[in-house]
Amino acid sequence: MNVLDFAGAFFGDGAHWHGYDGIPQRLLEHVQYSLLALGLAALIGLPVGLVTGHTGRGGNALALVATAARALPSFGLLVLIVIMMGFGLLPVMIPLVILAVPPILVTTYEAVRSVDPAPVDAARGMGMREGRILLQVELPVALPLILSGLRSAAIQIVSTATIAAYVSLGGLGRYIVDGLYQRDYEKVVGGATLVAVLALVTLALFWAAGRLAVSPGVRRR
Amino acid sequence: MSAHRRVFGALIRMDSVTKRYPDGTVAVDRLSLEIPDRSITVLVGPSGCGKTTTLRMINRMVEPSEGTILLDGEDVTRQPVTTLRRSMGYVIQNAGLFQHRTIVDNIATVPRMLGRSKREARERAAELMERVGLDTALARRYPYQLSGGQQQRVGVARALAADPPVLLMDEPFSAVDPVVRKGLQDELLRIQDELGKTIVFVTHDIDEAIRLGTMVAVMREGGRLAQYAPPAELLSAPADAFVEDFLGADRGVRRLSFFPAAGLELTTVPVVPVDATAKRLGAAAKSPYLLVTDVDGRPLGWSEPRDLTPGDIGTDRLLPYGRPFTPGTDSLRAALDCAVLSPTGWAVAVDADGKVLGVVSQSAIGEAIRTAHAGHAGAASAPVTGAVS
Ligand SMILES: Nc1ncnc2c1ncn2[C@@H]1O[C@H](COP(=O)(O)OP(=O)(O)O)[C@@H](O)[C@H]1O
Ligand SMILES: [Mg+2]
């Protein structure tokens, strides 16, 4: 049997489409974990990146923290946190957020830094306040890059959220973890395929968001 | 048209202003300058001499280390910095437009910031587009869809949108090609005629300074004032070798721009119509060259008298008459230029309809130049107006 046969068998089995271990339920859980982690990471990464990018201060410290965070292995972190804190949603969220903050933070910082200083100077010269300069002059122009940071964070979260299954939570990781344990390779391949598809859907959503949110004057078409 | 209150210019007084940057650079050194209202004051000088720093101290983008700056008699530090800046339009070299906003919304920025409704602000923006010579069809475009010259016009319109009494311009036309730049300069002079703002204009181009300035402040390295004078006076009496050098080698010729050609004595003796009689040609034959005109009096070209047959003047063998000048509006410089470019050494003067008023020789223009310079010598030795540090 090859991979395609495994996948075919998995998705062809009607039993996999309902119930607490059915595909819709696991998909929903996976999306929920991912959205929560992305939301928390954006809540940290966006404001810090925007403000440091605008003021230009703290860039070095930021790069250092980001590199350190990137070096941490998510799975290792999960195990460590579970040992310290026990099971639950929080031990899953911490490594996911730590994984997602650096790309958001660093890209947002770089995006704001790379905005042409001339319009910023003009805005300041016409008496615009700093907050407004950041939100109305810099952000709209930095948006494509910021979205790309959020996108890579989202993709990483979607693929890494499978670790939730190791601490008895749901999500698409269940199929992979259980499948490996039960030597049910249909299940493993099915779960992995679903994660890959979800990652592609995420890409498509970000592309659509870019079309909607970025001004034609910035997209230049 | 909305009923905008006309806000006129304001007077700016800089009193022994020094700017020392944190790294120790003295960008501006005890500069005192009285900038008259409703006129264009140009700060000119080589790169790095402190022009931008001086300009940016007026709207407090840079805070002076020492000295005071008064606007209409009041210290600029007395009011909140955003209030101060909103009373001053600010135009920079590459326009600095907001690329995510349409042209009309770029221009509407300050009115919107001041709380006007979107509709009102856009109406005002459309009005300003016309004022600065922009087709209102461009209103919904984005900055990247405009040429450099058009972008700069948008920059000027945006700065004028809230009708500020003061306009600060930092090398606004330096990045566009010479033809577009001339158009923008003409437009600025026209706008200034109509609106009477107090404009402080920075440039490194002495020609631009002389063309635009009511007063010109020449600055030198180290942020010191070299001379502050009206352009004609700058050209006739440079304060020192630095200013003289900065003005360039042809300042004598350029100074002629400030003398009208109206006083030139024109002669009509060598001017003959294409249907001239033998008698008329005979009367003119003493001149080395004759200017042939059509029956309406418009110039056709030069000819030697012996080449002309009465009643049948062939127009195909005439020498080109070059570019004519108009005595009422042109300067001595334009007249001299015409004479130098003319194949016969005579300049052709025409009226507004292009009909020949007469001709004038190079030597007659030279005489007029000597008279003009002599007449102006007394004025040039008078003390320069404005503050001297
Ligand atoms: N922010 C700054 N920090 C330190 N030195 C500066 C700063 N801005 C300008 N300078 C220096 O001050 C001098 C005057 O600069 P500037 O006002 O920009 O001159 P200009 O506009 O005439 O070219 C230059 O020597 C420049 O290098
Ligand atoms: Mg400068």
- In tens, the pLDDT along B291-311 reads 999 989 999 999 888 887 776
Please enumerate in sequence order all residues whose Cβ is within 8 A of that of A73, keeping only pairs 6 or more positions apart, or say none: none
- Average pLDDT for residues B281-300, to the nearest whole number? 87
CA of B207 to the centre of ligand 1 (A): 23
How does residue B183 score in pLDDT terms, banded at 50, 70 and 90?
Answer: very high
The token duo for A158 is 């979607």
Q: What pLDDT is recorded for position A77?
A: 84
Please enumerate in sequence order all residues whose Cβ is within 8 A of that of A147, keeping only pairs 6 or more positions apart, or say none: A206, A209, A210, A213, A214
Q: What pLDDT is recorded for position B8?
A: 52
Q: What pLDDT is recorded for position B5?
A: 40
Using CB atoms, which residue from A116, A128, A215 is nearest to B113? A128
Q: Are B70 and B32 in contact (CB under 8 A)?
A: no
The torsion angle over the Cα atoms of residues B112, B117, B123 and B126, rounded to 10 degrees, is: 20
Is the pLDDT assigned to residue A162 strictly greater than 80? yes
Mutate to test the interface with A, among B56, B90, B94, B98 (most CBs of A within 10 A): B98
The token duo for A8 is 């075919």
Residue ranges around ligand 1 (CB below 6 Å): B 21, 23, 25, 27, 45, 47-53
How does residue A70 score in pLDDT terms, banded at 50, 70 and 90?
Answer: confident
SS3 B89: strand
What ipTM is given for this predicted complex? Answer: 0.89
Using CB atoms, which residue from B83, B99, B158 is nearest to A217? B99
**Total count of residues recorded for chain A:** 221
Angle value at C-alpha B227, between B225 and B233, nearest 5 degrees: 165
DSSP class of residue A135 equals: I
Please enumerate in sequence order all residues whose Cβ is within 8 A of that of B299, keeping only pairs 6 or more positions apart, or say none: B291, B292, B293, B321, B324, B348, B350, B354, B356
Please enumerate in sequence order all residues whose Cβ is within 8 A of that of A68, keeping only pairs 6 or more positions apart, or say none: none
For chain A, give the mean pLDDT. Answer: 92
The per-residue pLDDT for range B248-262, each reduced to its tens digit, is 888 888 888 889 998
| Of B29-38, B115-124, B317-326, minimum mean pLDDT range | B317-326
Interchain contact, B100 vs A215, CB within 8 Å? yes
Q: B273 has which bridge partners?
A: B293
SS3 B315: coil
Question: What is the chain B residue with the closest CA to A220?
Answer: B144
CA of B217 to the centre of ligand 2 (A): 15
Q: B20 has which bridge partners?
A: B26
What pairing do the DSSP bridges indicate for beta strands B290-293 and B299-303? antiparallel
B80 touching A (Cβ < 8 Å)? no
How does residue A151 score in pLDDT terms, banded at 50, 70 and 90?
Answer: very high
**Domain spanning A3-220: CATH 1.10.3720.10:** yes
B155 touching A (Cβ < 8 Å)? yes
Is the pLDDT assigned to residue B7 strictly greater than 80? no
User: What Å distances lie between residue A43 and A35, A39, A47, A62, B286, CA to CA?
Assistant: 12, 6, 7, 16, 94
The per-residue pLDDT for range B52-72, each reduced to its tens digit, is 999 999 999 999 999 999 999
Q: For residue B60, give how far its alpha carbon lies from the nearest alpha carbon of chain A (Å).
A: 9
SS3 B35: strand
CA of B383 to the centre of ligand 2 (A): 29
Q: What pLDDT is recorded for position B375?
A: 73
CB-CB neighbors (< 8 A) of B100 in chain A: 140-141, 215, 217-218
Judging by beta carbons within 10 Å of its beta carbon (0-12, 13-18, 19+), is residue B182 exposed, middle or buried? middle
CA of A122 to the centre of ligand 2 (A): 14
Full set of structural domains in chain B with CATH: 3-250 (3.40.50.300), 262-370 (3.10.580.10)
- Average pLDDT for residues B268-274, to the nearest whole number? 87
Q: Are B232 and B252 in contact (CB under 8 A)?
A: no
Using CB atoms, which residue from A118, A127, A218 is nearest to B85? A127
Is the pLDDT assigned to residue A65 strictly greater than 90? no
B111 touching A (Cβ < 8 Å)? no
Query: Mind giving me the DSSP string for B290-308?
Result: EEEE-TTS-EEEEE-GGG-
DSSP class of residue A112 equals: H
Interchain contact, A218 vs B99, CB within 8 Å? yes
Euclidean distance between CA atoms B328 and B264, whole angstroms: 10
From A5, A30, A42, select the one nearest A196 (Cα to Cα).
A30
Angle value at C-alpha B217, between B215 and B223, nearest 5 degrees: 160
Euclidean distance between CA atoms B279 and A61, whole angstroms: 97
Interchain contact, A127 vs B83, CB within 8 Å? yes
Is the pLDDT assigned to residue A140 strictly greater than 60? yes
Using CB atoms, which residue from B90, B93, B100 is nearest to A126? B90
CA of B20 to the centre of ligand 1 (A): 10
Q: What pLDDT is recorded for position B279?
A: 82
Q: For residue B226, give how far its alpha carbon lies from the nearest alpha carbon of chain A (Å).
A: 28
SS3 B331: strand
For chain B, give the mean pLDDT. Answer: 89
Q: Which residues 45-64 of B are in CB contact (within 8 Å) with A?
A: 59, 61
Euclidean distance between CA atoms B155 and A122, whole angstroms: 9
Q: Which amino acid is at A208?
A: A
Interchain contact, A127 vs B86, CB within 8 Å? yes
SS3 A101: helix
How does residue B383 score in pLDDT terms, banded at 50, 70 and 90?
Answer: very low
What pairing do the DSSP bridges indicate for beta strands B12-20 and B66-71? antiparallel
B98 touching A (Cβ < 8 Å)? yes
Euclidean distance between CA atoms B255 and B105, whole angstroms: 43
The per-residue pLDDT for range A177-194, each reduced to its tens digit, is 999 999 999 999 999 999
Euclidean distance between CA atoms A3 and A9, whole angstroms: 10
How does residue B384 score in pLDDT terms, banded at 50, 70 and 90?
Answer: very low
Place of tokens 């003390």: B383
* Gyration radius (Cα) of chain A, Å: 21
Is the pLDDT assigned to residue B104 strictly greater than 70? yes
How does residue B377 score in pLDDT terms, banded at 50, 70 and 90?
Answer: low
The per-residue pLDDT for range B321-359, each reduced to its tens digit, is 888 999 989 999 999 999 998 888 899 999 999 999 999
Query: Mind giving me the DSSP string for A40-80?
Result: HHHHHHHHHHHHHHHH--SHHHHHHHHHHHHHS-HHHHHHH
A119 touching B (Cβ < 8 Å)? yes
**Total count of residues recorded for chain B:** 389
CB-CB neighbors (< 8 A) of B144 in chain A: 217, 220
How does residue B9 score in pLDDT terms, banded at 50, 70 and 90?
Answer: low
Q: For residue B95, give how far its alpha carbon lies from the nearest alpha carbon of chain A (Å).
A: 8
* Gyration radius (Cα) of chain B, Å: 26
Dmax over Cα atoms in chain B, in whole Å?
Answer: 84
Q: Is A180 left (phi over 0), alpha (psi -120 to 50) or beta?
A: alpha
Is the pLDDT assigned to residue B198 strictly greater than 60? yes
Ligand approaching nearest to the C-alpha of B223: 1
Q: What pLDDT is recorded for position B10?
A: 64
Mutate to test the interface with B, among A121, A126, A212, A215 (most CBs of B within 10 A): A126
What pairing do the DSSP bridges indicate for beta strands B215-220 and B198-203? unpaired
Using CB atoms, which residue from A118, A132, A217 is nearest to B94? A118
The per-residue pLDDT for range B68-86, each reduced to its tens digit, is 999 999 999 999 999 999 9
CB-CB neighbors (< 8 A) of A144 in chain B: none
Euclidean distance between CA atoms B160 and B125, whole angstroms: 9
Measuring from atom 13 of ligand 1, which residue has the nearest CA?
Answer: B27
Q: What pLDDT is recorded for position A1?
A: 61
Question: What is the chain B residue with the closest CA to A117?
Answer: B96
